[in-house]
Structure 1
Amino acid sequence: MDIKNILILSMVKGIGPAFIKKNCHRLINDSSCDQIVKESKPEELDNLVSYAKTADEIMSDCKDNDIKMVSIIDAEYPSQLKEIGDPPSVLFIKGNLSLLNHVIAIIGTRHSSELGNKIAERVGSYFADYFSICNGLVEGIDEHSIYVGSKVLSNVVGIISGGLCYNETCSSHHIQVINDVLEAGGLIISEYYPRQKEDMYSGSKASRIQAGLSHGLILVQSKIDGGSKYTLAKFAKLGRPIGVIHFPSSAEYQSESFGANRLIAEKGKDGLAQMIGLKKTSSINIGPLIVLSNKDDYNKLIQSMSIANNNVLF
């Protein structure tokens, strides 16, 4: 099935990413999406012509704006992303796809403190020697983890919550960060159509892509009820290592803004379950949970990520 038909299928009401993942064999073997729609959502057959027109418009936008489309059955589609329950059927991409080979998510609050910013800068700079740094490129911890001074790191993977015609779909500040990432040789990914604007739900939805793409994750700073819980909730199903910044010697670390860090550092999986709203730790599937207080701890996380990925990182 070509990418146009996959786009059309993704527009059918009642057919979502989880359904498409389950039926990947049909995408490989069928020449069009018509039969799948006929079997699963026959009431939508009359709408396929309209969906096809929209797909043509999307593909034209991609061509005109140098946006690459990668479908879930393409060889370039990142295998680690397929492990989530609802991977996007089509990714829209600008930049260096090779950065997806070894990825770590560095995440935290948008309302970061001076201590959080300093830690994010140090952690981002350190782990960038080993991995691509992945997050949503938003203000706060995300931004501070990808900049060294005024320059962005060269191996950043940004997951944005609007389309890749980002001059139209994102805020002015976000546009500048995206431009910095691309100019430095990084990669920008979205699941949204090129001209689709950000909304109040798209950020939390995009967090599952951050989780799926990343071989490990570091939480730098978050309240217990902070937005980082969305990425952590997805990541906690993937059996991959998690690092949590822990800096108890600082008075600032005792503030509410580091509440999630303290909770997880002190209670481990129980604390993680509490943050992401799970009643039982048995529902959590993670690799080692490593409390990060110094560079020795950083190296433990790097080693655990290497083991989790069959030592392919070194």
Structure 2
Amino acid sequence: MESKDIYLWLKSMTGMTNRVIENIAKNIGDIENLFDISDKEIYNLENINLNIKENIVKYKSHSYLDNIKEELYKKDVKYVSIADKDYPSNLKYIHNAPKLLFYKGNLSIASSDLKIAMVGSRKPTAYGINSAKTISKQLSNEGVNIISGLAIGIDSYSHEGCMLGNSKTIAVFGSSVDNPLPRKNVNLSNKILDNGGLILSEYNINSVVIPSNFPSRNRIISGISDGVIVVEAASKSGALITVEFALEQGKNVFAVPGNINSEMSRGCHKIIKEGAKLIENTEDILNEYNIISINSEEIGKNYDNIELNAQTIKIIEAIKHEGCVNIDSICDYTGLGIKSVNAILGELTLNDIVLELNNKTYSLNV
């Protein structure tokens, strides 16, 4: 019997963790032999809970395994084990690597040349949203596949940005692949598949979803990747759990700096102080992997070359000078009346040249 079928059989049983499977393998030498050994030998396995031994004996039948496989087939869910050659190459070597992955879509992109994870706040600012979509799209156009967790916020915008480019995106679930969570993102999950991407999980269909699944899946997000970007995160953001896994796994960590007065910048600034690479554009990321941008003209808009009138250029220069500025300061800087400034800012916002942030403050679109 193939090892992936043995893993599928074992993972269907309550309490069957990676560590338990490793202990079983140590006992019998080759996990593929488990289905053929006697009940007595199973009960003699060392360092294995009695309930688990009883379940192994109880469910040791080809018909039981066939029923599990039939359920997966009906839901168009495939599976791959750590022993298979098409298992994601980066993931194989992390601590507590999943023995089995369930997936839909194109598994090969999980072993492609360069994959970058993007994570961040579930309640991003306009600046964070724009940064996630822009960076993701630009990396995608450079041939980089983007990984995230399908969560509301930065995760979702990172997936969407990637699909606006040329590459594919991977969503790692904290639930089973037939049960995308949050439910609000079911359509996004389907869109990822329609776009030729991949959704995957270590949890079998019909699995009970518990809160610890989500921090645990972060090790897979970072594990598949070649590096992790934190776009926007509060000081206690769950995104920083992914950073911890990335550091343990020896991955590059990048962070987008933000407004020093914004709580959503605290997490990014913290990890920058601790050694994460501050990024201002995608070239900062590509340089770490010795990749020369093939779309350098797309990286950073040159507002000096846009045909705009003198008043509009004054306002752009004011925002460029300050980075993030409120409308009163723009008036002071330019000497223009508030009605004129309001009208021009409205036009610039509609044309995606300027972003309106909180409390009537403005920033240039990255």
Normalised by the size of structure 2, how large is the TM-score?
0.68
Aligned to 2:134: 122
Match of 1:196 among 197, 204, 207: 207
Select which of 142, 145, 149 maps to 1:132. Answer: 145
Is residue 254–residue 277 contact of structure 2 (8 Å, CA) maintained in 1? Answer: yes
Count, aligned residues = 278
Deviation at 1:299, TM superposition (A): 2.8
Q: Is the 8 A contact 2:139 2:162 kept in 1?
A: no
2:135, 2:281 within 8 Å by CA — same for their partners in 1?
no
Counterpart Cα distance in 1 of 2:215 and 2:177: 17
What's the TM-score, normalizing by structure 1?
0.78
Change (3 A) 1:60 1:233: same
RMSD (Å), alpha carbons: 2.8
Partner of 2:168: 155
Kindly report which structure 2 residues correspond to 1:59-98, keeping only aligned pairs within 5 A, or say none.
Answer: 59-98=69-108
* Residue 234 (1) aligns with residue 221 (2): no
Identity in percent: 26
The secondary structure found in structure 2 opposite 1:246 is: coil
3-state SS of paired residue (1:243):
strand
2: CA distance, partners of 1:258 / 1:54: 51
- In the TM superposition, residue 31 of structure 1 has moved relative to its aligned partner by 5.6
Superposed CA deviations along residues 184-210 of structure 1, whole A, max 9, x for unmatched, are: 100010111112253322211111111
User: Do 1:221 and 1:245's aligned partners in 2 also have CA atoms closer than 8 Å?
Assistant: yes
How far is the alpha carbon of 1:149 from its aligned partner? Answer: 10
Amino acid at match of 2:171: G
Residue 32 (str. 1) matches residue 38 (str. 2):
no
Structure number with bigger Rg: 2
Residue 13 of structure 1: how far off its partner (Å): 6.5
Residue matched to 1:310: none
CA apart distance, 1:88? 1.3
- What is the Cα deviation at residue 12 of structure 1? 5.9
Q: 2:177 aligns with which of 148, 152, 164?
A: 164
> 2:129–2:154: 8 Å Cα contact kept in structure 1?
yes
Output the amino acid matched with 2:7: I
Residues 152 and 180 in structure 1, CA contact (< 8 A), matched pair in contact too: no
What is aligned with 1:268? 274
CA distance in 1, matches of 2:245, 2:146: 18
Question: Which shifted more, 190-199 or 37-46?
Answer: 37-46
Aligned-pair CA distance for 1:268: 2.2
Structure 1's unaligned 5+ residue stretches are 270-288, 305-314
Q: Which residue of 2 aligns with 1:299?
A: 286
State the partner residue of 2:53: 45
Seen in structure 2, the aligned counterparts of structure 1 residues 55 and 210 have a Cα distance that, compared at 3 Å, is farther
Q: Which moved more, 1:117-126 or 1:9-18?
A: 9-18
